[in-house]
Copies of this chain bind each other. A is one copy, B any other.
Amino acid sequence: MIRVAVRAEAIDVAAELAAHDAGGHGASASFVGRVRGDGGLTELFLDHHPAMTAAGLTALAEEAARRWTLDASTLIHRVGAMAPGDTIVLVLASSRHRAEALAACEYLIDRLKTDVMLWKRESFADGRVAWVEERGADRARAARWG
């Protein structure tokens, strides 16, 4: 089962986990990304495409289901304005086998950074506002998956 959401509301990790885990999967791997308050960051804003962002998450989950034997995957991405500590992204992948769950989870978060229509803008306490630049390290990690 694939569950995907792009939303401006706060991500309730425990609730998403409970919904995902209702299947009682043998092995579940997860990744949670949160806003860091580095360098005086006061706000993280995420721009997205109304249709393509969700479609991109679904396409990623479908590709993961082709590569690994998965019982369920969940991808929730927050958009709009966030504060330090807020959860930006939640990835869950479940399988009968731990190696598949772990690999799928890592694949999903790596590819999410490079393949899905999302753009981060950072605002700092000193008034600076800057769009985040594409990271070479993210491209390199995503490229590992071929």
Give A residues with C-beta under 8 Å from B. 13-14, 17-18, 21, 24-34, 36, 84-85, 96, 98-99, 101-102, 105-106, 109, 141
User: CA of A17 to CA of B16 in the docked complex: distance in angstroms?
Assistant: 12
Copies in the complex: 2
Question: Distance in Å from the Cβ of A88 to the closest Cβ of chain B?
Answer: 10
Which single residue of chain B is at the shortest CB-CB distance from A36?
A: B26
Residues of B within 8 A of A106 (CB): 102, 106
Among B34, B36, B96, the residue within 8 A (CB) of A36 is B96
Residues of B within 8 A of A96 (CB): 36
Among B13, B27, B33, B105, the residue within 8 A (CB) of A34 is B27
Residues of B within 8 A of A32 (CB): 21, 27-30
Question: Distance in Å from the Cβ of A62 to the closest Cβ of chain B?
Answer: 21
